[in-house]
Amino acid sequence: MLIRDAFKTALRSLMHGMMRSVLTMLGVVIGIASVIILMSIGQSAQDLILNQVQSIGSDLIIITPGAPANGKFSPPASAQGIIVTSLKQNDVDALQREPAILYAVPEVRGQADVVYGNNIVTEGYTGSTQDFFLVSNLAATAKGQPFAKSDVDSGNHVVVIGPDLATTLFGANVDPINKTIRVKNISFRVVGVLGKSGMGAFGVDIGNLVVMPITVAQTQLLGTNFFNVIVTQANASYTIDFVKSRIAFTLEQNHGIHDSNKDDFNIETQADILSLLGNITSILTLFLAAIASISLIVGGIGIMNIMLVSVTERTREIGLRKAVGATDSDILKQFLIESILLTSAGGVIGIALGAAVVGIVYEALTTFASIGWVFAFPISSVALSLAVSGVAGIAFGIYPARQASKKNPIDALRYE
């Protein structure tokens, strides 16, 4: 039997049991659509996160306390529950004297209840200098203005908050400027609302950010004299690698370290952070796709089950075909093609359904949630889906096809 004739015969058989064919494909459709949706959403989330981190600036170099992890990026020591006090004001002063560095901005971080009236939200807060807004690309506020150097020097109780937090505390129709909020039971006057949401360095949620003068945060909220992080901005006249080496040299001199393997600080560039985030989001995307692929296996088993039932129901047909000259190979070919056609059609429909859902999610997030969502429809997910559906058709169809091809024509004709 020619391949063309086998395709025609298989197609007629599937059309004859249209409802059963549709229900059989449903598992494959759902599986493929799930893979498409999760891979696409994962890629979109990855692009969104990386774009927001990149928007902070590629010339930033971040210093955290604690020894580096074999030259690879690791979370700051504070994020691991380890308190390291190696970064202090004399380090910031020394870095600011370095010509290769434009800004050296210290930060301290904590978490507390933020209260306005009857509204209470537990959020992280940041204490820093007036240069925080410059290096973080947050100088353009939506309302009010960032606090000034005089506020830092005088220890004024002023605060700049993120737009999402402003809406949560004050509502959409109340101007937060000059309103008083309480952070850890200490009163602060709101002087500015940041102009954008998103994610900053180390996953800081800018939309819910609370920034206050570092002098107030250290003395009245935290009671510390060290920093959680120092963010430096490189002078454009020097390469990032050179600036990184100068930072290491300056801090080693300050800390009396003569062996770089004994450094008590970690230096990371934006490129290092982007690489880590890219790896994490890629792994998560693949993990989600692998979970979604389980439904493909279930769909494949369903196809094998239906094909086995079909073989039993069409026993007389198989016997008749063999009686008029069909070979075992012809019968095997016919049933295998039926299985492949079912999974391939399910794959195409699943891709279309997945693309439609991804488009709807994109429109909903950008229109109603005001999220700068990035539309991503990776071709790799389509190729993977088609490949998996084809392989599933062969893998789960070959056993029923072999069972059909092995039937004895005499016994098959006698089958009732």
Task: Determine contact, residues 125/211, Cβ cutoff 8 Å.
Answer: yes
Task: Determine contact, residues 357/33, Cβ cutoff 8 Å.
Answer: yes
pLDDT, position 51? 66
pLDDT, position 105? 95
Q: What are phi and psi of 64, to 5 degrees?
A: -125, 155
pLDDT in tens, the chain (416 residues): 556 666 676 677 767 667 777 777 787 788 788 878 877 877 777 777 666 655 555 678 889 998 776 544 444 444 445 567 889 999 999 999 999 999 999 999 999 999 999 999 999 999 999 999 988 888 778 899 999 999 999 999 999 999 999 999 999 888 999 999 999 999 999 999 998 766 655 556 788 999 999 999 999 999 999 999 999 988 988 888 899 999 999 999 999 998 888 888 988 887 676 666 667 777 777 777 677 667 667 777 777 777 777 777 667 777 777 777 777 777 777 777 777 787 788 888 888 888 888 888 877 777 776 566 667 777 777 777 777 767 776 777 677 667 766 766 665 555 55
Task: Determine contact, residues 319/413, Cβ cutoff 8 Å.
Answer: yes
pLDDT, position 127? 96
pLDDT, position 73? 43
Sequence-distant (≥ 6) Cβ neighbours of residue 71 within 8 angstroms: none
Structure tokens at 6: 């086998």
pLDDT, position 167? 92
Task: Determine contact, residues 214/225, Cβ cutoff 8 Å.
Answer: no
User: Three-state SS for 139?
Assistant: coil
256: left (phi over 0), alpha (psi -120 to 50) or beta: left
What is this structure's pTM?
A: 0.59
d(CA 349, CA 299): 14
pLDDT, position 177? 95
